[in-house]
Structure 1
Amino acid sequence: MRKLPAAAQEERRRQVIGLRESGLTYDAIAAQVGLTRTGVFDICRRFAEQGQAGLASGPRGPAPGTGRFLQVEQEAQVRALIRRHTPDELGLPFALWSRAAVRELIERHCGVRLAVRTMSTYLARWGFTAQKPLRRAYEQSPKAVRRWLRQDYPAIVAQARGEKGTIFWGDETGSRSDDVRGRSFAPRGRTPVVRPSHKRAGLGLISAVTNKGELRWMVLEGALKAPSLIRFLTRLIQDANGKVFLIWDNLPVHRARAVQDWLTEHPGQIEVFHLPSYSPELNPDEGLNADLKHAVTRKPPARSKPALKPAVISHMRRLAKSPGRIRSYFAHPSFRYAA
Structure 2
Amino acid sequence: MAAVRRGVRQSEPGALSREQELELIDTLRGSYPDAFGLDEELWTRQGLHALIQSRFGLPLDPGAIGAYLRAWGLGPREPRERACGLCVGAVERWVRTEYPSIIRAAQEHLADVHWIGRIRLRGTMPAADIISAVSSRGRVQFMITTPSVDPPLPRDFVLRLSGEEQRTVHLIVDGSWPRNEWPRRLPRRITLHPLPSCGRAVAA
Question: If the length of structure 2 is used for normalisation, what is the TM-score?
Answer: 0.48
Q: State the structure with bigger RCO (CA 8 A, min sep 6), 1 or 2.
A: 2
Task: Looking at secondary structure, tell me which structure has more helix per residue.
Answer: 1
Task: Looking at secondary structure, tell me which structure has more strand per residue.
Answer: 2
Task: Mark the structure with the bigger radius of gyration.
Answer: 1
Question: If the length of structure 1 is used for normalisation, what is the TM-score?
Answer: 0.30
